[in-house]
């Protein structure tokens, strides 16, 4: 494709110059991330050298793992770049930590096979659990904004196996208590006390952060589309859910 004028490019040539696909440029145009500088008389998209600088910003931020919507906010100066990069760094550090743990477990298993004829199946179980822990969180990330994802990753550092065990026990106890109280009026003191315990446990995960809460709400609303294993792990009887929702809705406004 010939250059129409000095510093002006049709889409195929601009894509080749920038090292991206024409399809990507169409996508960025639709999202408003990178609009062409103009159109030719025949309707072809035309790009200029200044568009290349903006495209380079998009590519760099995309490589850093930022979603396109977040990149759009950054380019419009709606989000502070330093704060966004700091949060993304936290997310990447956590991913690296998880990968390091899995790699160490694989190395130990490899060493075990070199020094023993029989594989250490306990060690292999540990590897599977480490990899599953990573996969178990990946599926849920789409429900959270980049800011909420970073905050969740930060909170993970304070979430020990012992704490998880206590929280799981607290949830199981609460669900049993709610089931025992299904005959109660949702506005009764008993029901309201159960609703308060529910809120406390939820806030133990969200830390009272509205961004995390918003993502959690979206995730639960889409439960039908969860991975099968996760749906089975977090099964709550419909009557329990209905009761606690009514109790929460009838709670006095603070």
pLDDT reported for residue 3? 46
Label residues 64-99 b or e (16+ Cβ within 10 Å = b).
Answer: eebeeebbbebbeeebeeeebeebbebbeebeeebe
pLDDT reported for residue 123? 53
pLDDT reported for residue 145? 84
pLDDT reported for residue 204? 85
**CA distances for 38 relative to 17, 56, 226, 234, 242, angstroms:** 18, 19, 44, 52, 55
Cβ-based neighbour number of residue 151 at 10 Å: 21
The mean of the pLDDT values for the chain is: 80
pLDDT averages per 10-residue partition of the chain, 254 residues:
68 89 92 90 88 88 82 78 75 75 73 65 54 59 81 72 80 92 93 92 86 86 77 78 89 67
- The pTM score is 0.48
pLDDT, tens digit (0-9, with 9 covering 90-100), for 184-209: 999 999 999 999 999 898 888 888 88
pLDDT, tens digit (0-9, with 9 covering 90-100), for 98-141: 777 777 777 776 776 677 666 555 555 555 555 555 555 667 77
Q: Is 230:136 a contact under the CB 8 Å cutoff?
A: yes
């Amino acid at each position: 494709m010939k250059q129409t004028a000095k510093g002006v490019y049709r889409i195929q040539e601009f894509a080749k110059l920038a090292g991206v696909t024409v399809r990507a440029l169409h996508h960025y145009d639709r999202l408003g991330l990178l609009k062409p500088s103009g159109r030719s008389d025949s309707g072809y998209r035309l790009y200029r050298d200044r568009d290349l600088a903006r495209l380079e910003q998009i590519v760099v931020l995309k490589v850093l793992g930022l979603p396109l919507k977040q990149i759009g906010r950054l380019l419009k100066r709606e989000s502070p770049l330093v704060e966004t990069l700091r949060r993304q760094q936290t997310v990447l550090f956590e991913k690296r930590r998880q990968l390091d743990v899995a790699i160490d477990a694989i190395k130990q298993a490899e060493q075990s096979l070199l020094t023993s004829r029989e594989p250490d199946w306990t060690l292999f179980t540990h590897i599977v659990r480490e990899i599953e822990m990573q996969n178990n969180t990946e599926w849920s990330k789409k429900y959270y904004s980049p800011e909420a994802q970073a905050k969740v990753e930060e909170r993970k550092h304070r979430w020990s196996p012992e704490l998880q065990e206590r929280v799981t026990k607290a949830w199981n106890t609460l669900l049993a208590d709610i089931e025992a109280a299904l005959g109660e009026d949702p506005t009764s003191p008993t029901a309201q006390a159960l609703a308060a315990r529910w809120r406390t446990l939820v806030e133990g995960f969200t830390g009272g952060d509205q961004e995390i809460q918003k993502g959690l709400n979206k995730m639960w609303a889409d439960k039908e589309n969860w991975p099968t294993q996760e749906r089975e792990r977090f099964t709550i009887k419909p009557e329990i859910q209905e009761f606690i929702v009514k109790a929460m809705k009838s709670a006095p406004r603070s």
